[in-house]
Amino acid sequence: MVSDVVTDPLDQRVLDPSCGSGTFLFHAVRRYLKTAEAQGRPLRQALDALPDYVAGIDLHPVAVSLARVTYLLAIGNDRLRSPERGSIRVPVYLGDSVQWKQRTDLFDHGHLVIRTGTGDTFYERELRFSEHLLEDAGRFDRLVNDLADRAATGRQPGSRPSLSSLFNVLAIDNKDDRDEITAAFKLLCELVDEGRNHIWSYYVRNLARPMWLSMAENRVDVLIGNPPWLSYRHMPRDMQDVFKEMSQSRELWRGDEVATHQDLSGLFIARAVQQYLTEGGTFSFVVPNPVLDRPYWSGFRAGDYPDPNEPVRVAFTGSWDLRRLRPHFFPRGSAVIFGKRITADVGAAALGNVAVPLPKATQRWTGKIPATAHDWPDVQGWVRRESAELRYVGEGLISSPYRSRFENGATIYPRNLFFVTEQESGPLGLGGGRTRVRSERSFHRPWKELPQLEGVVETQFVRRVLLGESVLPYRLLAPRRAVLPIEGNNTLLHGEHVHIDRYPDLTKWWRKAEELWLKHRSSERLTLLERLEFRRGMSLQLPGTPLRVVYGKSGQHVTAALVDDASLIIENSLYWGTVESREEGMYLCAILNTPALTEVVRPLMSYGKDERHIDKVVWELPIPRFEYSNASHQRLAELGNAESERITALGLDESKSFRDLRKVIRSAIKTSPDAEELDQLVRLLLE
């Protein structure tokens, strides 16, 4: 990224507005110094100028400390130890690049104004510095440090030493500047005498430089970095309110219905460009991969951010799609975007300057990087970079008519209140229609810490349940057992239902389960039955239908099978849909289990670490309704049936994990005699 956007290191000022531990700063510093050496610049001259050309800002004090060390490491031990160098200044500042409060009062009539929070009702004491003093960052830092040191040490309370020597050393001879600095020094002395020495030099320097950089005449030529990734749903409430307001003013907000997916990184970039990038300047940022193609990022991709205070317009120039790299460089699938800021004024100044949306053309990176590859020369040999085109969800795609037919299964949670294993009935038996059971362990707190439930339940309430792990391509594993309060075909019973006392064993089990649920649930919003029936996940299945297609809600590959048993209950980790015939079921299974389908749908998934969330995005693809008269549909059904028979005949060791079994079946699908024809038919169907 640095080499792509920093094309003239000695003449481009570079800023990382969220520098973290300083990775981008390291490479920008190295690039600057190597170029300076190649052009024969003296070391002292290069190091003296370096802070004006590479700088960083971060909100976290620990990150700032690490980035400052990284900056020194980039300079290198030999340069630091060289007798040719002068003093070293590290321009990494503690600051908020978003400026949530959007301070506009720090600069007042050519002065930096720092309010101290002291004074009376009518007059707040302020530290004031002439704006032009900030132009030389090194001199300003030294000035502020020296003032703070003189105020805090080596003087008697109430006294104020002369600043003549400081003025001489820093060549400050303007009377107005001297008077202003003297007044600031007087206030610093008063603050120290009052016990208010709140590290003023540190505060002033870190507040002044980011704000100075945000002034139009001081903005940088290149912005680069990895902005903070923070989903709206994980923000504190007050932050959510400000985020929404700032996003709406820039047309980044896509509506409350997708609010939980919206992310701080887009607003951060728009705000950083607004504050720190000069018109004509370039930018490159690492972003969550959904930025490239998810609908809730469409406002950001448009490149026009009409904030009333200062409209921003950008021309995106390209992107890198990194989602297929393994392992991921970041906790989630990522991407890199490139662009430049263009004029957003009104009238003749902005004539022809139309925002350029992020192009669909991208550079796709694929490959598996070994753990031993630690730097780019080692990594690049394992990475394949090729041109590709992005596909936008809901844009240019025809939603499948099957979308409305498929539903999510029931939320059978927590596991230890529902799922059971059958136990021996004892030497005397239990009598007809009763089963002894013990609940399974749960994986989640607090449920995993509770003892298992044990008891006897009427057999009709011990239902067979398919989970995500029960489904292999074209094949089902043995279902699990769960105690579910389903009377007959479609009546759900709760602890106070008028029918429940007809079933004394179920009554005892269910009321104990309800008691544990009420005691340990995380929210008082839902009863146990309401949890089971969340979004009608259970009742929509009742009564069961004879033929259903099920597929996994998540996974790196779409996995589907045909269910021909109406009594099976479908759990929340699966989606299910009724089909009219076995042919229609095989048609859908053939499409869903084909590697080509996963390849096409993968860019549309909601991304966890490994693109795991499938949900209903498969139906964003133009999968048509099965038609008996369509020869291609009939052929897909025939091939699906043939694949199903081959996979049913496989001698699988079902004691192995479902993941291992899926790998075996996927391998069989890839080497199937029908693999090529299936691939071609599915691709033709989706084009």
Residue 70 has a pLDDT of: 95
Residue 107 has a pLDDT of: 59
- d(CA 326, CA 332) in angstroms, rounded, equals 11
Query: pTM of this prediction?
Result: 0.63
Nearest CA-CA partner of 459 in 482, 491, 492, 428: 482
Residue 210 has a pLDDT of: 79
φ, ψ for residue 548 (rounded to 5)? -135, 145
Residue 395 has a pLDDT of: 52
- d(CA 23, CA 35) in angstroms, rounded, equals 19
Q: Which residues of the chain have pLDDT under 50?
A: 102, 104, 120-122, 396-397
The answer to whether the beta carbons of residues 386 and 399 sit under 8 Å apart is no
Residue 133 has a pLDDT of: 82
Residues in the chain: 687
Residue environment code for 135-161, b if the CB has 16+ CB neighbours within 10 A, otherwise e: eebeebbbbbebbbebbbeeeeeeeee
Helix axis angle, 137-152 to 200-213, nearest 10° = 160
Residue 374 has a pLDDT of: 77
Residue 122 has a pLDDT of: 44
Contacts of 594 (CB under 8 A, 6+ apart): 669, 678, 679, 682
